[in-house]
Amino acid sequence: MDSAIVPYLFYLFSFMIVVSGLLVVIMKNIFHCALFLIICLFSVAGVYVLLGADFIAAVQVLLYVGAIAVLMIFAIMLTAKVSGIGIKQQNEQVPIAIITTVAFVAIALYGLGKTIWNIKTDAVIPDNTTMAIGKLLMTTYVVPFEIVSVVLLAALIGAIVIARRN
C-alpha cells in the first residue's frame, strides 16, 4: 500500500462513515436508513483494508452487508408502516441525547488524546492474514470458535421460535 494515499483514503472513508452514519440515525425514511447503513458498512470494510485486515474486511462485507443489512431490510419490509410525513422518527430525547453524546465523544477524544499508546512503530503487517487467522481459530481459539457456532445455532433456533406464527 502506498503510504502516500493512505491519509486521503482514510479521510475519504472516515468522511463516508461519519456522514452515512449520521444519515442512518437521522433519516426519516427507514429504508433510506438501511441503505445508508450499507454504505457505512462498506466504508468500514474499506477502513479495514487500510488497516491491513483483509480477511476482516471480507468478512465484514459478507456478514454485515450481505447478511445483517439484508436482514434489516427484510425486517423493514415486514414491519412496514405507513411512513407518512407527520410521523416523527426521532423521539423527544434528542436534545439531551445530543448533549450526552457530544460530551461522551468529547471525553473519549480527550482521553485518547492524552493517552500514550504503546505503538510498535516497527510493525510488520503480515500479508496473508486469512491463513494466520484460520490457523489461530483452529488451534488457540478453537473453543471460542465452537462456542460461537453454538451461539449462532442458538440464535438461529431462537429467532425461528420467536418469530414463527402459531
> Contacts with another protein in 73-132 (CB under 8 A)?
74-76, 78-79, 81, 87-91, 93-94, 96-98, 100-105, 107-114, 117-120, 123-126, 129, 132
Size of the site for another protein (CB under 8 A): 90
Could you tell me the smallest distance in angstroms from the CB atom of residue 135 to another protein? 9
SS3 category, 81: coil
Q: Which is nearer to another protein, 85 or 151 (CB)?
A: 151
The conformation of residue 115, written as its DSSP 8-state character, comes to S
Ranges within 11-30 binding another protein (CB under 8 A): 14, 17-18, 21-22, 24-25, 30
Taking alpha carbons only, the member of 11, 15, 121, 6 closest to residue 52 is 6
**Binds another protein by CB under 8 A, chosen from 39, 42, 44, 46:** 44
Chain centroid to CA 29: how far?
20
Fill in the DSSP letter of residue 1.
-
Q: Which of residues 51-70 bind another protein (CB under 8 A)?
A: 51-53, 55-56, 59-60, 63-64, 67-68
Smallest distance from another protein to CB 94, Å: 5
Burial of 107 (0-12, 13-18, 19+ CB in 10 A): exposed
Nearer to another protein, 85 or 156 (CB): 156
HSE of 160, CA atoms in CB hemisphere, 13 A: 5
Binding-site member from 16, 39, 41, 42 for another protein (CB under 8 A): 41
Find the shortest distance in angstroms from Cβ 85 to another protein: 15
Kindly state whether residue 144 participates in binding another protein, applying the rule CB under 8 A.
yes
Report d(CA 145, CA 136) in Å as an integer.
Answer: 10
The residues, any chain, with a CB within 8 Å of residue 48's CB and separated by 6 or more, are 54, 56, 57, 60
